[in-house]
Structure 1
Amino acid sequence: MTSEKDIIQSAQARGRVFDAPSGHWVYRVLPNRLWPYAQLARWDRPIGWWLLLWPCWWATALAATAGARTGDPLVTVLPSFWHLLLFLIGAIAMRGAGCTYNDLADEDIDNQVARTRSRPLPSGQVTRSQARLFLALQALVGLVVLVQFNRFTIVLAVASLAIVAVYPFMKRITNWPQLVLGLAFSWGALVGWSAHFGTLGWPPVLLYAGSILWVIGYDTIYAHQDKEDDALVGVRSTARLFGSRTREALMILYGGALALFLGAFALAEVPMPAIAGLLAAGAHMYRQISVLDIDDPAECLRLFKSNTVVGWLIFLGLVAGGLWTVVKPLV
C-alpha cells in the first residue's frame, strides 16, 4: 500500500502539492515552471477567493438595493457590474498575495505538517526571494484595482492590511486565529458599501459582523482537517478549542451570523426576495452542521467548500430583492 510519505514525495517530484486537484486548468494550461507560483497564490483552489469575494458582492448588492428605495429613478437596483468585476479581480489578487505572505510566515510550520509539507516553499520549489517578488506583483494588481474607487474606500481598504499582516502569527498565540481571519476576510462588507455611497452606515457594519461569525464557522470546519498535526506542532485553532462541541459552537456562530445579516437587511429595508435568499442560506448552514463529521478530513473539506453556495444564495437573494422594487409596482 502506498504511504502518505510516498504520495508527498511523488507530488514533489512532479512539482505539485500532494493534494492538488487533478485536472485543474493550472496544470493543463500553465508551463511547469509556473506551477509553484500558481500554488503559492492557490489559483488551483478558487474557494479561497470566492469566500473573500462574497462579503464584497453582498455589500455591493445591499447598497444597490438600499439605494433603490430612495425613489430616485436614476438609481439602479442592480449592483454595479464595474464594481463587481473590480472586486473579483481584487479578491483573486489579494487572496493570492495573502496566501503567499502566509506561506512565507509559516514555512517552518508547513514543513512539519503532512498536508502542507509539499508546498512550494518548504519543498524548495521557490526561494523566499522569489516568493517575495511574486507577493509584490500580486499586491500591485490589488493596488491598481483599489485606486479605481473613491478616496474613502481606498483609505478604508488600506486599513485592513494591518489585520492581514498579523493574521499568520495568531495561530501561535491564541485559540482564536479564525476570529482574526474573519476580521480580514469580511472587510469587503464595509468596502462594498463605501464604494457605492462613499461612507459607512449600520447595514454594512452588521453585515461585517455577521460575516465574521460565518468565517469563524466555516474555517473551524476547515481546521479540523489538521487538528492532529496542529496539536503536535503547537498550532492553535477554534477546531482544537471547540473539539467535540464543534456542532454546538457552529449553531451559535451560524445562528448569530444569520441574525446579524437579517438586521443589516432590515435597516437597509430590502424586499422579501432577499430574506428568502437568506433563509435558503440558513438551511444550507444547518445542513452543514447536521452532517459534519469532525474526524473525516475529506468531509470537512467538502463542507468548507460548500460555503460558496451560501454566498450565491445571499447574493442572488439581494439581486432579486432589488429587481422586486421595479417589478412590484407593475404587478
Structure 2
Amino acid sequence: MIDTIKTPDSVVGWVGRIPRPVRPYLRLMRADRPAGFWLLMWPAWWSTAFALPPNAPDFWLFCALFFIGSIVMRGAGCTWNDIVDRKLDKAVARTALRPIPAGEVTVQKAILFAIVLSLSGFAVLVQLNSFAILLGVLSLIPVTIYPFAKRITNWPQAVLGLTFNWGALMGWAAAFGTLGPVPLLLYAGCLFWTLGYDTIYAHQDKADDAIVGVKSTALKLGDQSARWIAGFYLVFLIATGFAGSLAGFGWGWWPGLVALAGHLGWQVIRLDIDDPQRCLSLFRANSWVGWIVFLSAIAGKLTAS
C-alpha cells in the first residue's frame, strides 16, 4: 500500500492544472488564494467610488487599473514576505510547503520574480496622474517594513493595515490629484478593518507562532480577541460611515451601512478562535464587506442631491 503524502505539487484548483514549472511562482504570488488580492483591491475601489460617480469617464478605467495593480502588487508583496520569512515558514505547519522553504524556488529567483511583478505594477501606476504616481511609490515603504513587524511588535496587523489599505488613498488621488478628509478617514477606518480580519486570520497560526517567537494580535489579545475585534469593526463602521457622509452620499448609502454592520456583527458572533477552519472562513467572508461598501458607495453617489 502506498501512502498519500501531501507535497508542494499536490495543488488543487486551477493552479494545479498549470504546467508544473510555473506552479511555484503562481503559489508564490498566492494566485491559488485570491482572498488577499480582493482585500488589497477593495479599498482602492471604495476610494474611487467615494470620489467619482459610476458614469464618470475614468471610473471604470481606474477600477480596471486597480484590479490589475492589486494582483501584481499583492504578488510582489507576498514574494517579498516569503523571502524575508523563509526560515520562519519552515517552522510553521501551514507555511512549510510554500515554494521557498520547500525548495521549489531559490531566493535569487524569488527576488527576480518580485522585481518583475513590481515593474508590472509600476507600468499600471504610470497611467495615473503625477501625484498618484508619487503616492503609489511611497506605498513601498510599508510594504518593505511589514515582514519585519512580526519580529518586533505585538501589533504587526496594524502595520499590515497601513500597507494593505493604501488603495483607500489611491482612488481619490487618481481622481483629483490630491488628498483630503474623505480618503484619510476611509484609510483610517480600513486600518481597523484589517486589525479585525487579520487578527481572526492570525488565530490559525497562534500555536506555531508562540513556539517560533512570532508576534501577533492573536497572541497579544488571546481570549479577549472577540471583544477587541468587535471594537475594531465598530471603529471601521463609524469611520466609513462618516467618510460617506463627508463625500456627500445620498440616502442610498445608508441601507448598505446597515448591512455592513450586520455582516461584521455576524463575523464576531460566529468567531471561534480555537477553530482554524472557522477563522479562515470568516477571514474570507470579508470579501463580502468589499462588495457591500462598494455597491453602497455607488448607490450613495447615484442618490446624492
When normalised by structure 2's length, the TM-score is 0.96
Q: Which residue of 1 aligns with 2:297?
A: 318
Q: Which residue of 2 aligns with 1:11?
A: 7
Relative distance call for 1:304 and 1:78 in structure 2 (3 A) is farther
> Is the Cα–Cα contact under 8 Å of residues 252 and 302 in structure 2 kept in the other structure?
no
Of 44, 48, 51 in structure 2, the residue corresponding to residue 56 of structure 1 is 44
**How far did residue 323 of structure 1 move?**
2.4
Relative distance call for 1:43 and 1:137 in structure 2 (3 A) is same
**How far did residue 79 of structure 1 move?**
6.7
Listed as ranges, the gaps of 5+ residues in structure 1 are: 69-75
> Is the Cα–Cα contact under 8 Å of residues 77 and 322 in structure 1 kept in the other structure?
no
**How far did residue 281 of structure 1 move?**
1.3
Relative distance call for 1:285 and 1:79 in structure 2 (3 A) is farther
| CA deviation map 1:135-160 (0-9, x unaligned) | 11111110000000000001111111
Output the CA distance in 1 between the equivalents of 2:56 and 2:242: 20
Output the CA distance in 2 between the equivalents of 1:77 and 1:302: 36
* 1:27 is aligned to 2:16: yes
The amino acid of 2:30's aligned partner reads R
The amino acid of 1:301's aligned partner reads L
The amino acid of 1:223's aligned partner reads A
Give the aligned length: 304
Q: Which residue of 1 aligns with 2:183?
A: 204
Q: Which residue of 2 aligns with 1:46?
A: 34
Q: Which residue of 2 aligns with 1:130?
A: 109
Relative distance call for 1:79 and 1:287 in structure 2 (3 A) is farther
Output the CA distance in 2 between the equivalents of 1:284 and 1:10: 35
**How far did residue 96 of structure 1 move?**
0.3
The amino acid of 1:40's aligned partner reads L
The amino acid of 1:44's aligned partner reads D
The amino acid of 1:11's aligned partner reads T
What is the alpha-carbon root mean square deviation over aligned residues? Answer: 1.6
Output the CA distance in 2 between the equivalents of 1:308 and 1:84: 16
Output the CA distance in 2 between the equivalents of 1:84 and 1:57: 6
| CA deviation map 1:27-64 (0-9, x unaligned) | 12x20111100000000111011000000000000001
Q: Which residue of 1 aligns with 2:65?
A: 86
Output the CA distance in 1 between the equivalents of 2:177 and 2:189: 22
Output the CA distance in 1 between the equivalents of 2:84 and 2:58: 37
Q: How does 1:219-238 map to 2 (within 5 A)?
A: 219-238=198-217
SS at 1:33 equivalent: coil
Q: Which residue of 2 aligns with 1:254?
A: 233
Output the CA distance in 1 between the equivalents of 2:183 and 2:57: 17
More deviation in 298-307 or 270-279?
270-279
* 1:280 is aligned to 2:276: no
Output the CA distance in 1 between the equivalents of 2:258 and 2:58: 21
Q: How does 1:258-269 map to 2 (within 5 A)?
A: 258-269=237-248
> Is the Cα–Cα contact under 8 Å of residues 77 and 323 in structure 1 kept in the other structure?
no
SS at 2:152 equivalent: coil
When normalised by structure 1's length, the TM-score is 0.89
Output the CA distance in 1 between the equivalents of 2:23 and 2:193: 31
Q: Which residue of 1 aligns with 2:166?
A: 187
Relative distance call for 1:316 and 1:79 in structure 2 (3 A) is farther
**How far did residue 322 of structure 1 move?**
2.1
Relative distance call for 1:195 and 1:209 in structure 2 (3 A) is same
> Is the Cα–Cα contact under 8 Å of residues 206 and 261 in structure 1 kept in the other structure?
yes
- The structure with the largest alpha-carbon Rg is 1
